[in-house]
Amino acid sequence: MSEFEINEALASLEMLMSEFFAPTTNNFRKREIENMLENFSNNRDSWKHCLLFLQKTQNQYVLMFILTTLEKIINRQWLSLSDSERTEIRLNLMNELMTKHETMLYFIRNKLAALLVSIARYDWPHLYPDFFSNIVELLKCEGHQCIVGLVLAQAASEELGAARDTGVLLLSTRRSQLERLMLKGMPQMLSALSAILERNAQKEGQSNPPPSPTSGLPQTSALPDLLANAHDVHSADKALNMEIVVKCLTTLQHLFLWLPLSSHVPPSLVTTVFYWGSVATQSQSVEAALAGLGGVCELLYRRYAPPSSAATALRLHHCALRLLRYLTQHTHHMHRAHVDYLNKLSEFLKLFVSLHFKRLEAEPEFDAIDFLSYLFQYTFQVPTCSTFISCLDVWIQFIDVLKPEDTPKYWEALQALVNGVLNKIQFQHNKAQLQHLDNDMCDDDGETEWQKFLKHCIECIARVADLAPLDVFTAVMERWQCLAGVHARASGRGGAVVEAEADRLLAALLDLATLTRVLGRLAPSLLAEPEHSTGGTGSVAGAGTTNRGCSAGAALIERCASALAGAALTRPHRSHPSALARAHVILHAEMFACMGAWCCYASECNVPLHTMESLFSSALPFLVPHDVPIIAEGICSAAESALRMLCEPACTAETEITDFFLALFTALLPQLGNFAYTAIDVFLEVAQRGSGDGSGSLERLVECVRLGVEAGGGGVRVHAVLELLHSHVLPRADPATPTLARAAHRLLASVLVHRWRYFFPHKCEGEEALRRTAELRGALTALGRALLQPDIELLRINLNTLDTLNTKWKLYHKAIFRSEFMGSVLTVLLSGLTEGGARALLLDEALAAVHAMAAVDFVAFRRAFLPHFIQTLPGLEPHHVRLLADFPPDTDLPTFTQNIQRLMNDVNCYRTYQSLACNTMGS
């Protein structure tokens, strides 16, 4: 093409792209443009035009179209291009990236980098030997070139780093080769990334770089000095430096997802990453801090344990302790920190405690009490309730790792935690925060912000109570009794409340309701078995602790019964202002709920009978005024239904009747006795006589029969049930009625699982034995036929049925299944794995089923079934079949399933390569 023709074609393309994205363009015209662009992309030599346009255009729409077209060519036609053509495309893309990366839009830059990595997926190292070395060299550069290197490094990690499915067809051997090549170059890349972080730490104006791996564990507190000496560097490169740091940390975070950590990630790099996770005191470093902490959390999630595991854990402990000390001693920095950063810090602390706390207890340099002290200060100084909840998760994790014998050692910290949480949930101590919690809007779990906060706090107290129940209960009870006295005095005054005292009374009532809920939650812990009770202050465990717990519980029930009796008589919530009235209602509700929990233990606590009668009498007045309309409403509804059934033809009540029997069987089947089997016979007769399932009645009848089959006993006629399924239900269960099909196969599963012995009776010979074998064959055929249906839920039901039958009755070992069904079922399952699509949602279940069937005879599976199955697959050349037939002999489930997935991946790859070769020859 001449220069004029190129410019003219580019101008036409720019006009088309601008017209396509113009708001005035209608859908018909957009489809026309799409067809023109698609025709251009499908042209085999379209890449040549794309490279020419790439050098000349600045239009972002055109650039993205060009890069998308090149991506399609790389992923679909790359192997059909000559070596010189591949090299030309790669060099042009690399040249475009390196010459224009400072001025091009970031998403264009990232797309170019992704295309180079896609090329490396096929050509590295034979046609693209300098791919990895180019990335490392760019990482050692400054400024924008370093960012290009980081973009390439992260793209390489995402696409080439782990031998996993990235959505691009690639032979499994090639995936493994790419992973080995990446691992081979990782020391150089990690060294370059670490150097970037250390170099930029110095540029940030720090007096000391992060500790080196040879400096040993620092004995003095270095991190607060680093943070205290931090200052903003006002220069043109400031934003660029922070962009480099954030990109470097996110790249490392992705590398940590798949790298073998113990052999590739040195402890010094972890310390460096954590250092950047601790610089959130500078507003411009929030992204870097989040990325740094995210990287460390990723390591902990993967159970990072290098050879010097204890030393690394101590490093993390020292870093965390310095950061906590700095934040608690400079609270203005904590209040300036972003809430996401504080939550991420809590996530790190939770992981650190779960993985390393018990391990570090034996280390002389680890001061557990000092760590818990700063954790306690941090917990109760965080500025928001949501962050406080995250901190409570850290404490709950700490309690989980403790053993009962550790309780005395840490009781002081646990006691302080309980008192601190109790202060946190009471308005008289924490009104400033609590009054801003929303108690009206519910989240997806149906909880308000206040309810969620309170639930977490109470759960934390309850976890401590599991270790020292009597001590925690006593601490809560003391506060509760003080507030109960306030409530009693207010009730004695009736509705007379001095305006000045209204706010204090409101806070007292709400706090009393909260503490009442806490006491209700503590009932199981206080009255647990003696061997689970360990007094935090050295109190005697066993019968003495249990007796004191029962006495305390009895006192609580007596006090609540007295308070509720007064409430029922005076109804203070009707005579007080609206806020106080609502508080009274909340309090009464919490007291009744608390008593509901404690009444289960009334006999153990030796609660007097008159107290229980008082509680009953207190509850009754709240219910009686409402019982008449409730009963009347129920009677009216029942009468209306009865009259409607009398006035209308019986067939119109079919839905109500089947609904009734389904509900009856679901709830009361064990109590129905022989009537259940009589009803099932009627259901079978009605279902066989029915002509349709427009209202779902047949489905509900099938469900009733299923419940009867699962109930046991000999009253169900299995032959009649199978006749119903094969003759009446399954023929109607087409794709248009998926619920009926699922109900039918649930019934079929119940017959096979719960009535298996029907098909293999001990005393049955001749024609009867042949008939039952034929019935089993028909049931298994129906089950296998359902595996071909597109309904995913139906597939799930039948895969679970196969698994249950094999687990309970050794189905796969039965001669009839091995000879007549196993080959077909394996073929269906493996074909589904090859096709992918929606069936990939049940990948794990299908792979487990294939493994269980192959386990019957692994040798026959490898040598007989698989070669035959591969030969029957369309679109494969003979040499492809020979390569695929070499299946590894591993028999353990994880390795076997990986090998099956690799096999299916390679089948799809060879099919695609064959299709591309045919298309190339045709064109």
Note the residue count of the chain. Answer: 923
Q: Name the pLDDT band for 415 (thresholds 50, 70, 90).
A: very high
pLDDT band of 495, cuts 50, 70, 90: low
- 225: confidence class by pLDDT, cuts 50, 70, 90: very low
Distance CA 758, CA 722 (A): 12
- Residue 883's contacts (CB-CB under 8 Å, 6 or more residues apart) are 906, 910
| DSSP code, position 729 | I
Residue 531 pLDDT more than 50? no
Measure the CA–CA gap between 186 and 530, rounded to whole angstroms: 56
Alpha-carbon dihedral angle through residues 388, 390, 395, 396, given to the nearest 10 degrees: 130
What pLDDT, on a 0 to 100 scale, did the predictor assign at position 122? 93
Residue range 670-689: mean pLDDT, rounded? 71
Amino acid 532: pLDDT? 43
**What rounded mean pLDDT belongs to the chain?**
83
Can you tell me the mean pLDDT for 758-770?
A: 80
Residues 6+ apart with CB under 8 A from 67: 54, 108, 111, 112, 115
Distances (CA, A) of 522 to 113, 467, 518, 682, 856: 59, 12, 6, 51, 52
Choose the weakest-confidence range: 26-35, 67-76, 359-368, 794-803. 359-368
Please choose, from the candidates 225, 322, 228, 329, the residue with its C-alpha nearest in 3D space to the C-alpha of residue 271: 322
Q: And the tokens for 390? A: 């995250």
Residue 252 confidence class, pLDDT cut points 50, 70, 90: very high
**pLDDT confidence of residue 622:** 66
Q: In 695-842, which residue ranges form alpha helices assigned H by DSSP?
A: 697-710, 718-724, 738-754, 756-759, 766-786, 792-809, 815-820, 822-835
Amino acid of residue 29: R
CA 285 from centroid of its chain's CA atoms: 29
Average pLDDT estimate for 182-207? 85
* Angle, in degrees to the nearest 10, between helices 738-754 and 792-809: 0
Provide the sign of the torsion angle of the four alpha carbons 87, 90, 92, 94, taken in this order. Answer: negative
Which amino acid, residue 190? L
What is the average pLDDT across 533-554? 57
Where exactly are the structural domains of the chain?
A: 1-129, 429-626, 651-786, 811-923
CB-facing half-sphere around the CA of 55: CA atoms within 13 A: 14
Separation of alpha carbons 588 and 567, rounded Å? 8
Sequence-separated (6 or more) residues with CB below 8 Å from residue 573: 567, 580, 581, 582, 584, 585, 588
The span from the CA of 805 to the CA of 799, in Å, is: 10
Amino acid at 97: L
The answer to whether the beta carbons of residues 679 and 701 sit under 8 Å apart is no
Give residue for tokens 């269960």. Answer: 733
- Which run of H or E residues covers position 661? helix 654-672
pLDDT of residue 715: 64
Instruction: Give the tens place of pLDDT for each residue, 21-34.
Output: 999 989 999 999 99
| pLDDT-above-90 percentage for the chain | 39
- Which are the contacts of 574, defined by CB distance < 8 A and separation ≥ 6? 581
Q: How far apart are CA 817 and CA 51, in angstroms?
A: 59
> Which pLDDT score, from 0 to 100, does residue 704 have?
83
- According to the model, what pLDDT value does residue 201 have? 80
Please say if the pLDDT value at position 18 is more than 80.
Answer: yes
Contact assessment for residue 679 and residue 704, using Cβ atoms and an 8 Å cutoff: yes
Helix 267-276 and helix 238-258: axis angle, to 10°? 140
What's the pLDDT tens digit per position in 767-796?
888 888 999 999 999 999 999 998 999 999
Residue 222 pLDDT grade (very low, low, confident, very high; cuts 50, 70, 90): very low
pLDDT of 347 above 90:
yes
Which helix (H) or strand (E) segment holds residue 694: the answer is: none
Residue 216 has pLDDT above 50, yes or no: no
**CA torsion, points 651, 653, 659, 664, in degrees to nearest 10?**
-100
pLDDT of the residue at 182:
94
Query: In this prediction, what percent of the chain has a pLDDT beyond 70?
Result: 81
Residue 5 amino acid letter: E
Of 63-67, 252-256, 262-266, minimum mean pLDDT range: 262-266
Least confident of 217-221, 381-385, 483-487: 217-221
Segment 82-100 shows an average pLDDT of 94
First vs last C-alpha separation in the chain: 21
pLDDT of residue 912: 83
Whether residue 576 contacts residue 490, with contact meaning beta carbons closer than 8 Å, is answered with no
What is the pLDDT at residue 535?
A: 47
> What are 850-886's pLDDT values in tens digits?
999 999 999 999 999 999 999 999 888 888 899 898 8
pLDDT exceeds 90 at position 360: no
The pLDDT value given to residue 792: 93
Report how far Cα 689 is from the mean position of its chain's Cα atoms. 47
Within 57-105, where are the H helices? 60-77, 83-100
Instruction: Tokens for 711, please give them.
Output: 């109930």
What is the pLDDT, as a whole number, of residue 716? 72
Collect all residues with Cβ–Cβ distance below 8 Å to 761 and sequence separation of at least 6: 769, 772
Per-residue pLDDT tens digits for 439-472: 888 888 788 888 999 999 999 999 998 888 888 9
Quick: pLDDT tens for 694-733.
Answer: 556 788 888 888 888 887 766 678 888 898 899 888 888 8
The token pair that represents 196 in the structure block: 């970037």
Q: Is the peptide bond before 125 cis (omega within 30 degrees of 0)?
A: yes
Q: What is the pLDDT of residues 294-333, one digit of tens each?
A: 999 998 888 876 666 777 788 888 888 988 998 888 888 8
User: Sorting pLDDT into bands at 50, 70 and 90, what band is 737?
Assistant: confident
Work out the average pLDDT over 500-514: 85
Phi-psi region of 143 (alpha: psi -120 to 50; beta: other; left: phi over 0): left
The pLDDT of residue 540: 42
What is the per-residue pLDDT for 282? 55
pLDDT at 226: 43
Mean pLDDT, residues 656-680: 70
Least confident of 411-415, 482-486, 549-553, 883-887: 549-553
- pLDDT interval class at 423 (50, 70, 90): very high
- Structure confidence at residue 469 (pLDDT): 86
* Residues 367, 398: Cα–Cα separation, whole Å: 15
Distance between CA 637 and CA 627 in Å, rounded?
15
